Amino acid sequence: MPDYSIDVLVIGAGAAGLLAARDLARIGRRVAILEARARIGGRIHTFLEDGFTGPTEAGAEFIHGDAPLTRALLREAGAAWHSTAGRNYEVYAGQVRESVEFLADMPALLQQLHALPQDMPLADFLTCYFPGDEHATLRLQASQFAEGYNLADAARASAFALRDEWAGGGAEDSPRPTGGYRQLVELLRDQATAAGAVLYLDTPVRQLTWESGQVAAVSPTGQLFRARQALITVPVGVLQASAGTVGALSFQPELPELRAAARQLGFGAVIKVLLEFAPDFHRAAQPPLTQHLPELGFAFSDAPVPTWWSQLPDARPLLTGWLGGPAATYHQHTPDEDLLQLALESLAYVLGSTVAALREQLVAYCVVNWAADPWARGAYSYATVEAAAARQTLLTPVENTLFFAGEGVYEGPSTGTVEAALVSGQDAARRILQIGK
């Protein structure tokens, strides 16, 4: 029997991997965390540089719903959170009006969803239960909400899962961690390494060789890692990637059933465009800028980059553009400069301004195209009608040797969130400990 110096190889240093590594190390397991990027956090990425004047979220930004584990860890990290503020607007066909709710017909939609006897894709549900011209707006808005917020393809998304999530009202009351989400993953990294876990950055795993009770991975520099078990926390997008694509992870021997299950999960794309403007942007009188939408909180529109938000109550002039779902997948290969131009055109339309005026005031920008990121290949998951069965397949340990975790395999109402990743990491550590050495 080979002498292993590692009990568990944790693949991925995002929220799920770091939490699992911490819990395993605290109980005495020898843990190595292999992370492809030069940084921890994965889809949590608060950055502080590149001309931006404060912490800026490239990935997760809000705390959706109760999120007890997220809030407990932020508290432990000494981080507070604060509610969003400002007024919300809708800009459709060039007409601006203040919007009260994210989705005006939500009560009618939820009532019908609760009466639905059997799960079906959202698109089928809308056609069946809200037919005809009189419901055209509801159908359009519900699909747009599912696509833009949940990143779901309405033709595949589970009506039951959306019902449970929308009933939770997570979108309505979503505070931000003050100072950014990075504090949470830095806390977990510090706790994991203090408990003895060893973190290897810049260490992508391209192939995991395994047999019952043994796993092995070789780093790009030729370092060999051998362990008894592996916990794989890479995003669903990486699991779905075909062999040979950049960022793909292969198993030796392959796991065709798990691969098929991963492809049954929904995984949506996001392009986030972060634009920081000159300090007096909100007050700029000529040409007219944000005073058109006083105290702008969120704006929803029919522009190519449809959703925008400010940092209020923080007056920092950072505006975030959000393009989610199938439209973001469509732009997966669009160059960043073109996406910036698209975003500026969209924002100019929303604010009743011009691209030239916006460019004049722009001091820093960042286009974050998550579908083009080889270590994410998308943003977060949504439940398809087949997702529950597919997740069960992925959650069943392979010969007590390979385990999967991460937001994509989380079971519960907080789909696609930091909370989902944390809960999944915690559960995975428990499963590994239950099985024993």
Ligand X SMILES: Cc1cc2nc3c(=O)[nH]c(=O)nc-3n(C[C@H](O)[C@H](O)[C@H](O)COP(=O)(O)OP(=O)(O)OC[C@H]3O[C@@H](n4cnc5c(N)ncnc54)[C@H](O)[C@@H]3O)c2cc1C
**Which residues fall within 8 angstroms of residue 354, CB to CB, at 6 or more apart?**
287, 348
The β-bridge partners of 90 are 97, 300
CA dihedral 152, 157, 162, 164 (to 10 degrees): -130
| Cβ-based nearer residue to ligand X, 209 or 291 | 209
Helices within 172-242 (DSSP H only): 182-194, 236-240
Name which position in 235, 306, 317, 325 contacts ligand X (CB under 6 A): 235
Residue 64 binds ligand X (CB under 6 A):
yes
Residue 234 binds ligand X (CB under 6 A):
yes
Closest distance between ligand X and the C-beta of residue 260, in Å?
Answer: 19
Segment interacting with ligand X (CB under 6 A) among 95-103, 296-304, 369-377, 387-395: 369-377
Rounded alpha-carbon distances, angstroms, from residue 64 to 141, 291, 326? 21, 29, 22
Closest distance between ligand X and the C-beta of residue 323, in Å?
Answer: 10
Spatial separation of the C-alpha atoms in residues 162 and 150, rounded to whole Å: 8
Segment interacting with ligand X (CB under 6 A) among 40-48, 104-112, 276-284, 310-318: 40-48
Pairing of strands 296-301, 87-92: parallel
Name which position in 270, 274, 340, 342 contacts ligand X (CB under 6 A): 270
Segment interacting with ligand X (CB under 6 A) among 95-103, 105-113, 284-292, 371-379: 371-379
Segment interacting with ligand X (CB under 6 A) among 23-31, 220-228, 232-240, 349-357: 232-240
Segment interacting with ligand X (CB under 6 A) among 33-41, 87-95, 129-137, 396-404: 33-41
Closest distance between ligand X and the C-beta of residue 79, in Å?
Answer: 14
Tokens of 185: 């993953």
| Closest CA relative to residue 55, chosen from 366, 414, 429, 294 | 366
Closest distance between ligand X and the C-beta of residue 234, in Å?
Answer: 4
Closest distance between ligand X and the C-beta of residue 386, in Å?
Answer: 20
Contact 308, 349 (CB under 8 A): no
Which residue type does 106 have?
M
Name which position in 6, 31, 56, 61 contacts ligand X (CB under 6 A): 61
Residue 17 binds ligand X (CB under 6 A):
yes
Name which position in 79, 238, 296, 323 contacts ligand X (CB under 6 A): 238
Residue 255 binds ligand X (CB under 6 A):
no
Spatial separation of the C-alpha atoms in residues 190 and 200, rounded to whole Å: 14
Spatial separation of the C-alpha atoms in residues 288 and 304, rounded to whole Å: 21
Name which position in 52, 145, 267, 375 contacts ligand X (CB under 6 A): 375
Closest distance between ligand X and the C-beta of residue 415, in Å?
Answer: 9
Spatial separation of the C-alpha atoms in residues 202 and 38, rounded to whole Å: 5
Spatial separation of the C-alpha atoms in residues 138 and 105, rounded to whole Å: 6
If phi > 0 it is left, if psi is from -120 to 50 it is alpha, else beta; for residue 314 that is beta
Closest distance between ligand X and the C-beta of residue 354, in Å?
Answer: 28
Residue 36 binds ligand X (CB under 6 A):
yes
Residues in contact with ligand X, shown as a per-residue x/- string from 159 to 198 under the rule CB under 6 A: ----------------------------------------
The β-bridge partners of 225 are 217
Residue 12 binds ligand X (CB under 6 A):
yes
Half-sphere exposure in the Cβ direction for 20 (13 Å, CA)? 35
**Which residues fall within 8 angstroms of residue 315, CB to CB, at 6 or more apart?**
282
Contact 167, 286 (CB under 8 A): no
Residue 343 binds ligand X (CB under 6 A):
no
Name which position in 233, 264, 290, 320 contacts ligand X (CB under 6 A): 233
- H or E element in which residue 143 lies: helix 136-148
| Closest CA relative to residue 410, chosen from 397, 393, 423 | 423
Name which position in 10, 21, 29, 59 contacts ligand X (CB under 6 A): 59
The β-bridge partners of 210 are 215
Name which position in 197, 275, 394, 421 contacts ligand X (CB under 6 A): 421
| Cβ-based nearer residue to ligand X, 73 or 120 | 73
Name which position in 21, 60, 255, 395 contacts ligand X (CB under 6 A): 60
Segment interacting with ligand X (CB under 6 A) among 112-120, 134-142, 276-284, 415-423: 415-423
Contact 148, 322 (CB under 8 A): yes
User: Running DSSP on this structure, what letter comes out for residue 121?
Assistant: B
User: Running DSSP on this structure, what letter comes out for residue 157?
Assistant: B
Give the interface with ligand X as residue ranges (CB under 6 A): 11-17, 34-37, 42-44, 59-62, 64, 204-205, 233-235, 238, 247, 249, 270, 272, 370, 375-376, 379-380, 406-407, 416-421
